[in-house]
Amino acid sequence: MSRTLLTSGAAAVLIATATTSAGAAGHTPQITAPPDKIVIELATVNGSGCREGTAEVAVAPDNTAFTVTYSEYLAQVGPGAPPTAFRKNCQLNLRVHVPSGFTYAIVQADYRGFAFLQPGAWGQERANYYFQGMPQTTQRTHQFNGPHNDNWQATDTTEYADLVWAPCGEKRNFNINTELRVNAGTSNPQTATSFMAMDSTDASVSTLYHLAWQVCPTPKHPAPEHPAP
């Protein structure tokens, strides 16, 4: 039941290739990311899979992506597992500070972790995200069937024409909802353990959100009124 995850080198490659992946999602050239550094802060953290202090956010040096790393995100069934352990969820509320004149959208999200699933058991990863005060994106589900004793990855992509952009000139927090589920299926949970994790044992496995950028339109100012002669 080894939980050996991806090497640290793999994580570096993922960050380095974020621009290529984001551009490929919609086959549309992306606006170059703003040169000034963006800052992302965790405003609130809620959920059974991410108690306070167990989730971290980091921005890629070139502003093309950001990562979320969890340290205790694991759903399981089996001997000794609490009845509620089959489902874990996490709700992150992020404050995203974007340079003036730019807006962003999520063009691709890569979710990763490790799963040990008995024959007949299955695990699911679900996720969606949205800007504060705006409709949620469609929740997407990825299922993994046992037997499975390896890393897992699920990728959600959005075509460029369907991207949801942060409103220009407004401060809207960005919300991320994720969920893991494990079901014993035809395996015997009285004697056999199955689990699915989205945490990192070596700081190398993170959820990666690829960013698309746009330049905000210049506000139009009404022409000054001239008094009648």
The confidence score (pLDDT) of residue 33 equals 85
The confidence score (pLDDT) of residue 135 equals 84
**CA 184 to CA 179: how far, in whole Å?**
17
Q: What is the pLDDT of residues 82-139, one digit of tens each?
A: 999 999 999 999 999 999 899 999 999 999 999 999 999 999 999 999 999 998 888 8
**CA 213 to CA 102: how far, in whole Å?**
7
Average confidence (pLDDT) over 46-70: 94
Average confidence (pLDDT) over 31-45: 89
| Torsion of the alpha carbons at 177, 138, 141 and 66, rounded to the nearest 10 | -50
Residue 56 has pLDDT above 50, yes or no: yes
The confidence score (pLDDT) of residue 4 equals 38
Tokens of 21: 């992946």
Q: In sequence order, what are the beta bridge partners of 45?
A: 92
Please name the residues in contact with 201: beta carbons below 8 A apart, sequence gap of 6 or more: 3, 5
Residue 9 has pLDDT above 80, yes or no: no
